[in-house]
A = this chain, B = another copy of it.
């Protein structure tokens, strides 16, 4: 099975221009062509899934290209590739902790405006911080404020 750039773009809900850009940046090392037109194999399509993941894990397009280059160099780069994934696991772990802090802040602010609306003013809500906050909200407050 092989796919045109339009089909691949459709599968991943990406503009065709983005897929072309990724190719130009070297993210599809084994990509074939037929009379000038790109033909994406299953491997190339899978690459898009990995690209998406690596981007979300914090790698730049250039970093991803470097990884793709490793994959063309065979077993001698297994170690290096493995280490990359270990590093990204750590990065994402930190990101996760960050997001939980963000969630706590949003939860606190949500509650804060619930109360402000009930009471008609913020000052009374401010005055509850931090000791008179409900237990759950105090936890969210403390996680998010420092």
Contact = CB atoms under 8 A, between A and B. Distances in A.
Interface of A: 49-50, 53, 56-57, 75, 78-79, 81-82, 85-86, 88-89, 92-93, 95-96, 98-99, 101-103, 105-107, 109-110, 113-114, 116-117, 120-122, 144-146
A30 to B, nearest CB: 14
Contacts of A103: 89, 92-93, 96
A114 B88 CA distance: 15
A114 B53 contact: no
Contact of A116 (B49, B78, B121): B78
B85 A116 contact: no
Contacts of A99: 56, 92, 95-96, 99
